[in-house]
Amino acid sequence: MKDNEKAKKYGEAEIAKARLEPWPNPSPERDYLIEISFPEFTCLCPRSGYPDFATIKISYTPGEFIVELKSLKLFLNSFRDVYISHEEATNRIFKELYETIKPKSLKVVGDFHPRGNVHTVITVEEGGPIKS
């Protein structure tokens, strides 16, 4: 191996192959709310290349499936080296979750930390308001 090449560490290899994994809903006979917070989301600004930091909040009422949490963690970590806008990142997370688990309702909030004195919050929602 050359000096400028490096073997991927275990976590990097897991993140590189990250895919959301649906699991059967253990209580499909009733509606209930699942709330997930991911406070260490990172991606890269597509214009400057600077890192962007956010808390991603996910709320959903499951249908037939729920999302397996380790797969969600790896999927969200896969954005860390991606040049992507706040809006696109939040919408992509929403789309992948919606297509994977087909929930009755889903809300994804990207609460991006201030940079350059600007604070951005992106909310994407489907299936009616979700009460928490």
Query: CA–CA separation, 98 vs 9, rounded Å?
Result: 30
Would you say 32 and 59 are in contact if contact means Cβ atoms under 8 Å apart?
Answer: no
* Catalytic residue chosen out of the listed positions 3, 31, 43, 45: 45
Query: CA–CA separation, 110 vs 93, rounded Å?
Result: 9
* Catalytic residue chosen out of the listed positions 3, 31, 43, 52: 52
Indicate if 31 belongs to the active site.
no
DSSP single-letter state for residue 9: P
Indicate if 52 belongs to the active site.
yes
Query: What b-and-e string marks burial along 34-64, b requiring 16 or more CB atoms within 10 Å of the CB?
Result: bebebeebbbbeeeeeeebebebbbbbbbbe
Active centre residues (catalytic): 45, 52
